[in-house]
Amino acid sequence: MSKKMKHKDIKFENESAELLFQEIESHYPSLDLKGQPLSEEQALAMYYHAKGLQIPEINNKRYIPVYNIIAC
């Protein structure tokens, strides 16, 4: 990636969460987290949502990704 992504101030649980978030940004260009850390599970759910795929259940929880942690 040639430009530095705008997520440099976001705290990620791990590298996988950050990589998934980079992919998500291409689907939600006005993405803005509300100052919360982004976990790998949340990033994965957001990725599935952005791709139009079924949102996975993780730890017996079905994630509805964009509504609680993102202000578009």
Q: Are 22 and 5 in contact (CB under 8 A)?
A: yes
The rounded distance, in Å, linking the Cα atoms of 38 and 12 is 5
The answer to whether the CB of 38 falls within 8 A of the CB of 69 is yes
- pLDDT for res 29: 63
| Residue 64: per-residue pLDDT | 53
Domain ranges of the chain: 10-69
- Read off the pLDDT of residues 11-53 as tens digits, 9 standing for 90 and up: 777 777 777 777 777 766 666 666 666 677 777 777 777 666 6
Give CA 4 to chain center in angstroms.
17
pLDDT of residue 1: 35
The predicted model scores a pTM of 0.38
